[in-house]
Amino acid sequence: MGAEISKNQELAKLSFYGIGGVADEVWKIGDRESLRESWADTIAEKIPKFVLGSGSNCVFSDRGFRGRIFILTDESVEKRGNFWTINAGKKLQNLVEESAAAGFEDLKNLSGIPGTIGGAVRGNAGAFGCEICDAIAAVEFFDDAGNLKILKSGDCDWNYRSSIFKKNPDWCVARAVLRFEKIGDPEKISAEVKNLKNERWQKYPPGRSGGSFFKNPRSGTFSDTGEKFTAGKLLEKSGAKKDRIGAVEISEKHANFFLNLGNAKQDDLVALARKWKKIVAEKFGVELEPEIAIVDEWGGKVEI
């Protein structure tokens, strides 16, 4: 099948944030053999690379990308009873809905989270006390030499919004094997999945974003009553809502949503995030860390 290569693609059109200049090359790959070859060659040739899912959790540079953006287009699923093997390009929401219709409720609480399985595995996507890792039996990935490897879930180093795949940017998630264990009435689960999705999208602040900008701090209690504050609460209590740099504004509805008001630049987003990270650190002694992948033009990470 090979790769479908397009040159000089505007990255703003490929991410939820709507930010980003032109990428030298975008490689759409639908089969594993082509992925294996091109992944290993790209690394061996030291060409900057980035695997893009749905672009719901990343923000590109205004200077674009001087390398190859890989998009995995295989969305196929192999079903063997309660074991489903899912290709990385599959949309998480479609999987949540399909598994609900088959009478499995393991993924129910993830309903409404945008993105692909590849992105969800790498960042261990989660909501309402459920994380994708809870249903994962194993993950297949290509390593930096193009070898297809498999890791059992217990070896994936799952953590809050993190996994071994996040720590190894030269690995590309190819497939995930899920094991469903919670069985229920398909119609009831599907109705709940639909309601959760609607509720969630009503709660999200309107406007372009990559979801929550900062991760919630994992330790420390900060209020007089012993309440553990979320990143959004810390930002709100520091007075971040409605602050703006360029065309990036912190949402009035939720202080952990940094919105693109129109023609925002990555530099403005970074400046606003650095400003509020510093204020929160001074006020509460908490070092916020971004959840969103802030990508420079060489595929590196922009530090906040």
Q: Considering only residues 29, 173, 255, 270, which one is a binding residue for ligand FAD as defined by CB under 6 A?
A: 173
Nearest residue by C-beta to ligand FAD?
A: 53
For the CB of residue 81, give the shortest distance to ligand FAD in the complex, in Å.
Answer: 25
For the CB of residue 3, give the shortest distance to ligand FAD in the complex, in Å.
Answer: 15
Q: Considering only residues 18, 210, 217, 290, which one is a binding residue for ligand FAD as defined by CB under 6 A?
A: 210
- 161 assigned to active site: yes
Nearest to 141, CA basis, from 71, 36, 233: 36
Q: What stretches of the chain adopt beta strand conformation (E)?
A: 3-10, 22-29, 49-52, 58-59, 65-72, 77-80, 83-87, 126-127, 130-131, 136-142, 148-152, 172-179, 244-245, 248-250, 258-260, 293-294
Catalytic site residue from 212, 238, 249, 251: 212
Residues in the chain: 304
Cβ–Cβ < 8 Å for 207, 261: yes
Number of residues in contact with ligand FAD under rule CB under 6 A: 32
Catalytic site residue from 161, 175, 190, 297: 161
Rounded-to-integer distance, Cα 28 and Cα 10, Å? 15
- 291 assigned to active site: yes
Q: Considering only residues 20, 118, 217, 290, which one is a binding residue for ligand FAD as defined by CB under 6 A?
A: 118
> Of 31-39, 101-109, 203-211, 220-228, which segment contacts ligand FAD by CB under 6 A?
203-211
> Of 50-58, 93-101, 225-233, 260-268, which segment contacts ligand FAD by CB under 6 A?
50-58
Q: Which helix (H) or strand (E) holds 251?
A: none
Distances (CA, A) of 288 to 57, 220, 233, 238: 17, 12, 12, 13
- 218 assigned to active site: no
Nearest to 134, CA basis, from 143, 145, 142, 125: 125
Q: Is 290 in the site for ligand FAD (CB under 6 A)?
A: no
Instruction: Give the binding site for ligand FAD (CB under 6 A).
Output: 16, 50-58, 72, 88, 113-116, 118-120, 122-123, 125-127, 165, 172-173, 204, 209-211, 293
Known catalytic residues?
161, 212, 291
